[in-house]
């Protein structure tokens, strides 16, 4: 789902990530875990819309309250019928300490926005970048929930050096990191950090660009490793581009993981993602990643590698078929393009597996197959041993208002 300039049918999202570490790291191997799923109240309708759910909102926890801000959907009619995407500024809060609590309106962002990134910090939820129907944004805000007036208070932080959307973010050691997405509306490779001190006057620092292809809608998480803290960047996609001679270059969907070592300010290729059974590649593009415990990362959600890559490249496949006078192939591609948005949810094969990566042993472990994870553009946050998944897309253009949580044992 390349917002604004790729196929309308690829309407997926962003990932929202939480990373933190409070215990000394260990190098123990992964243990099998189980998830017991439950539901929190559905997210209410944004503005004057019904409860349709949103994609690519800001999500985090402040003062024991789950906050969901912004996001987008198609409230008037489905995208398959020419519906227009609407962006929101609404902020909703849910008290996680009260099992009978319902969502409450807690304010509004300064602008409608989706496709940004957010991280939970001790000071509150930092909301970074994004875009709406008219603008690419570089704004950065801190949302902090007040128990006294039950409102989300907004504090403006240092603006990003460039506008960024479809990016990812993570937080560790009082530092926010952002990577991936578009820069000033074009795919980029930038990597920035900002120290978030109690005075909230930190500035963004340019770090070494990540190598290789651009990565829109990647996942990002921070965790301890054998040589100290590392930042892990995985998945994402590079849309169709032009080479130096103006010829089309196929889109790339990433199926690997890079890591950045803040101590040496260097990037390395960490590992390839293990393939899904019966398939060649796996990606978490449009999915989520959270640091878990003191030595691993949980990755979840996002699109199916093959389905998404085919959709991204269909337009240039059509051009090439026409150039070669391959009319039978062209008709097939046109037919596939028309049908792409109309398949049932199951056809898109969004990721249902919870995958664990151990940052010390470098082993991958599949930790279950859960329908609740089959979302793109959802928000994910880890609170203790509860993994909370907020909204997202069930298929291109179709959101869910559901908020699910898993008790991890």
Residue 27 lies in a domain: no
Q: Report whether 242 contacts 206 (CB < 8 A).
A: no
Q: What is the pTM of this model?
A: 0.92
Sign of the dihedral through C-alpha 219, 223, 229, 230: negative
DSSP-assigned letter for residue 279: S
Number of independent structural domains in the chain: 1
Residue 123 lies in a domain: yes
Residue 394 lies in a domain: yes
Residue 398 lies in a domain: yes
Q: Which residue, 57, 7, 9, 40, is CA-closest to 392?
A: 57
The C-alpha atoms of residue 386 and residue 376 are separated, in whole angstroms, by 20
Q: What is the pLDDT along the chain (409 residues), one digit of tens a residue?
A: 444 443 333 433 333 333 333 334 455 678 889 999 999 999 998 777 778 999 999 999 999 999 999 999 999 888 988 899 999 999 999 999 999 999 999 999 999 999 999 999 999 999 999 999 999 999 999 999 988 888 999 999 999 999 999 999 999 999 999 999 999 999 999 999 999 988 999 999 999 999 999 999 999 999 999 999 999 999 999 999 988 888 999 999 999 999 999 999 999 999 999 998 877 899 999 999 999 999 999 999 999 999 999 999 999 999 999 999 999 999 999 999 999 999 999 999 999 999 999 999 999 999 999 999 999 999 999 999 999 999 999 999 999 999 999 999 9
Residue 19 lies in a domain: no
Q: 193 has which bridge partners?
A: 177, 205
Residue 208 lies in a domain: yes
Residue 8 lies in a domain: no
Residue 157, domain extent: 35-408
Q: What CATH number is attached to the domain comprising 138?
A: 2.120.10.80
């Amino acid at each position: 789902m390349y917002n604004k300039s790729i196929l309308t049918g690829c309407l997926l999202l962003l990932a929202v990530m939480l990373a933190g570490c409070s215990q000394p790291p260990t190098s123990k191997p992964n243990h099998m875990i189980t998830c017991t799923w439950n539901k929190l109240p559905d997210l209410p309708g944004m503005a004057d819309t019904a409860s349709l759910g949103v994609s690519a909102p800001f999500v985090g926890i402040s003062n024991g309250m789950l906050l969901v801000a912004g996001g987008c959907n198609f409230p008037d009619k489905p995208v398959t019928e020419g519906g227009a995407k609407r962006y929101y500024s609404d902020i909703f809060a849910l008290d996680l300490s009260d099992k009978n609590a319902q969502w409450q309106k807690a304010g509004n962002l300064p602008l409608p926005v989706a496709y940004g990134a957010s991280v939970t910090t001790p000071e509150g939820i930092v909301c970074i970048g994004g875009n709406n129907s008219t603008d690419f944004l570089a704004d950065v805000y801190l949302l902090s929930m007040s128990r006294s007036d039950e409102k989300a208070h907004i504090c403006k932080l240092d603006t990003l050096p460039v506008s960024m959307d479809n990016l990812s973010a993570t937080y560790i050691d009082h530092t926010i990191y952002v990577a991936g997405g578009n820069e000033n509306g074009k795919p980029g490779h930038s990597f920035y950090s900002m120290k978030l001190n109690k005075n909230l006057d930190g500035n963004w620092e340019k770090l070494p660009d990540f190598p290789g292809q651009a990565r829109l809608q990647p996942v990002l998480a921070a965790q301890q490793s054998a040589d100290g803290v590392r930042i892990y960047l995985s998945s994402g996609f590079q849309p169709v581009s032009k080479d130096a001679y103006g010829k089309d270059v196929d889109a790339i969907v990433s199926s690997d993981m890079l890591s950045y070592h803040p101590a040496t300010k260097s990037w390395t290729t960490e590992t390839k993602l293990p393939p899904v059974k019966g398939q060649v590649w796996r990606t978490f593009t449009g999915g989520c990643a959270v640091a878990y415990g003191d030595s691993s990362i949980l990755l979840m959600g996002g699109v199916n590698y093959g389905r998404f890559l085919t959709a991204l490249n269909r337009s240039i496949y059509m051009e090439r078929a026409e150039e070669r006078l391959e009319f039978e192939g062209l008709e097939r591609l046109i037919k596939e393009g028309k049908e792409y948005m109309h398949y049932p949810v199951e056809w898109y094969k969004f990721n249902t597996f919870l995958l664990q990566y151990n940052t010390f042993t470098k082993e991958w472990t599949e930790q279950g197959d859960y329908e609740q994870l089959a979302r793109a553009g959802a928000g994910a946050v880890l609170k203790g041993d509860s993994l909370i998944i907020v909204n997202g897309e069930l298929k291109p253009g179709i959101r869910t208002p559901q908020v699910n949580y898993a008790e991890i044992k």
